[in-house]
A and B are shown apart, each in its own frame.
Chain A
């Protein structure tokens, strides 16, 4: 059996009194990509926030390589090896590009090729050109590259990508897709949330489909690719790009 990089079991999450996730369970295999799909409002971002510790789960357990992380503070979870590229990018607008990356750097404890400023610039040459510019002045696509770079600077064992193609021009979406593949080839374990199911299914090994806070499907990407009904029923064709 493959090693589980991240396992979520029986996750219940609430915003105040409103119950949003009802016992979500799945497990991401090490060095794999798990696509987390679902309609708008299905609870994908809530799932990501719970894993990151931004919205501590009310019930259920989240484990990173066997170590329980649910209940810890986000900064501790980040130190233990989860990197977040949030929906809407949320780069620090009043910091320069370089500073956005530098503040997220963390001491590397293991791993053969740690991410450094130089390697991020290598991955996204445009970030090097713009390193002294304020991040708030970047274009949407550049902000997305920066958000991915910032997520990598912590040398995460698992990278959470929440709708990285949202609101981007088709060419930039392709570049984001290529970047995700490259990260996967380097052995990065990834949870990828996408509305663009085509992009997600191209790279994913595993798929979880959420429907109003519950898992409607948990399985392999092949099963989903072979069964168009799954997508039409659970995602709605109007979301497919």
Chain B
């Protein structure tokens, strides 16, 4: 099957470029601008709307993202899990509900930053605006295709997943996605744009999720120089 050049650009060149920039840029920013390597919380300035927005958005999108990732990593298990009409329906509707949940959260988050002169607006950058726009586009297209192109979770395993794996194996093959409807392709492309934005936006906070907190000692003590007793310049009490 012959794939038009334009699709080679969207589905082969863009993903590679994108991942290279995201990883390279992420590392660069971490080492050169570590001070900025976080999300800028506006909870101090506005609390009530943030509760509904942030909680819905984060829980909704994290679970959906995990579902995408796990299904891509273990397509066999995913196919098994979806392999019955009841299970398929349950999973699909759970997914849609979560997407709706995330969407509502996202709209609240956009709303609270929208109004000029609102307190959170004062700390909103252009990049925040960009990011919110693409995230919204991504959630809306995702929700749309799950509604109109049934059953997304099944064909995802047959189209996008092989394409991901071909990219990962460095034998790019976009044939499984090149002939999908435009609406679906937009979802793929915007997804990669969001990844592209990773090192340039507040998205970097994703990789700083403080999992080590679960096992680090409560108290942190630091010494300017090695202690005779401890024999290390960083001992924790």
Are A and B bound to each other?
Answer: no
**B interface residues, Cβ below 8 angstroms from A:** none
